[in-house]
Chains A and B, each alone.
Chain A
């Protein structure tokens, strides 16, 4: 799947993304399943809100984590992975 800068994604229907205090992490919940996300995956999916474009997400995270090398590649890989798992869907 190719992801372009102008793509906008949101959390897929029937899925819920939420912060879990008890476990100190973000989770995705869906019928018959749940996934605990690690810190960086959570930071990406938090911004996948049906409004931010991929470019906006990359820019926001670049600002937030200026010292992380190759951050764009990691973000795109995460979006691609979440798309493959059908956790997120394209809006535009």
Chain B
């Protein structure tokens, strides 16, 4: 009965897609400036997978060992078959999570989810002030979110709040945490904006200063000490202000698998930005093939793809070279070190981004909200100049 490694089995090292994220639609009633969805999402809103295809996906992933299921988007509640998907997921033994803005969550639907066996609902919140919450989502949804939070609590669901942190709300962390406590939150994720998709486009408008981030972390730690286990608070550190990159997705093709609205099978949310990649699609590939055999999932697995300075870096196991998408988006080299790392030749690009984000003339540029119209403009190449200005894409 020797108890090793605190009860956590360390011998199980074979890679499995333990987490399946179903990005079930890219349609969304909110228009958040910080959304990580692809800026060309309007290309992926046609050809959404039908209910039967999702059921097939759930079955195949479960056979591969998937356990945690996130039903996300866009706004998943825009689809009317979430009830069926939730029920199937429960019967298969998933621990399932609906990731929602709350828009479209009615008493009737939440009751059906409860009956079908949905395990929890993660609700996005934006600020304590109606003004900022409505501003950053470009909608009038502040009051609705408060109402939905009460509904979640009322049904006995664990209350999981996700708050994306940016310049407009970072100084309100204390008040945000107090609001969460008052709502009876069990888990609060303070997710500092990571710059992909729409948030990259709006980086100059969203990025706080280092001082603001430090203060926010300090406030969070103090709050955590006070509430203890009653409310678990996660503070996702913004990597631009760190000197080592994050171990993105816990490693490429290690534990995560994402299936998009139109059926692409991806190792991470934004993988489709990478050059010269062809991702398998559920319309013509099995998930098992995608995970074990597809060139895309094998491309950045492990460390054999690495170049210097990662290849011989004594710390390479810690972060596996960071994020491939960030390396490409910022430095133009998908195989390079994540430019967040201070050993990376790309680090000056991050320093420049931090400085630029404090320049009045750049801050004053209008925010490009996540809308179909703006997505189509991006597809037409209209925002190209703005993007080229702050990364080194060829």
Contacts and interface: CB of A to CB of B under 8 A. Distances in A.
Interface of A: 13-14, 16, 18, 20, 22-23, 25, 27, 29-41, 43, 61, 65, 68, 70-71, 74-75, 77-78, 81-82, 86
Contacts, number: 88
Nearest to B122: A31
A20 B67 contact: yes
Interface stretch (B5-13, B313-321, B384-392): B5-13
Q: For chain B, what secondary structure do more than half of its interface residues adopt (helix, strand, loop), or is it mixed? A: loop
B97 interface: yes
Given A14-B120, A14-B186, A31-B187, A37 B1 contact: no
Contacts of A14: 119-120, 157-158, 186
A40 B12 contact: no
A41 B11 CA distance: 14
Contact of B9 (A29, A33, A37, A74): A37
A49 B322 CA distance: 41
Contacts of A35: 7-8
Contacts of B68: 29, 33-34
B87 interface: no
Contact of A29 (B6, B8, B67, B160): B67
Contact of A31 (B8, B10, B63, B120): B120
Contacts of A33: 68
B224 to A, nearest CB: 14
In this complex, the interface size class of chain B, counting residues with CB under 8 Å from chain A, is 20 to 34
B7 A23 contact: no
A14 B96 CA distance: 11
B16 A37 contact: no
Q: For chain A, what secondary structure do more than half of its interface residues adopt (helix, strand, loop), or is it mixed? A: mixed
A32 B18 contact: no
Nearest to B189: A32
Contact of A18 (B63, B93, B157, B158): B93
A82 B7 contact: yes
A34 B189 contact: no
B1 A71 contact: yes
Contacts of A20: 65, 67
Contacts of B160: 31-32
Contacts of A18: 93
A31 B9 contact: no
A86 B12 CA distance: 23
A29 B65 contact: no
26 contacts: A14-B157, A16-B95, A18-B93, A20-B67, A22-B63, A22-B64, A22-B65, A25-B12, A30-B95, A31-B97, A32-B160, A33-B68, A34-B68, A35-B7, A35-B8, A36-B8, A37-B7, A38-B3, A39-B9, A41-B3, A65-B1, A68-B1, A75-B1, A78-B3, A81-B6, A81-B7
A78 to B, nearest CB: 6
B71 to A, nearest CB: 14
Contacts of A37: 7-9
A27 B1 contact: no
Nearest to A33: B68
Interface in B231-251: 234
B16 A23 contact: yes
B9 A34 contact: no
A36 B12 contact: yes
A71 B2 CA distance: 8
Interface in B167-217: 186-187, 189
Nearest to A70: B1
Contacts of A34: 18, 67-68, 95
B119 to A, nearest CB: 7
Q: In the complex, which of the residues A31, A43, A77 has the most CB atoms of chain B within 10 Å of its own CB atom?
A: A31
Nearest to B68: A34
Given A16-B119, A71-B1, A27 B67 contact: yes
A68 B160 CA distance: 41
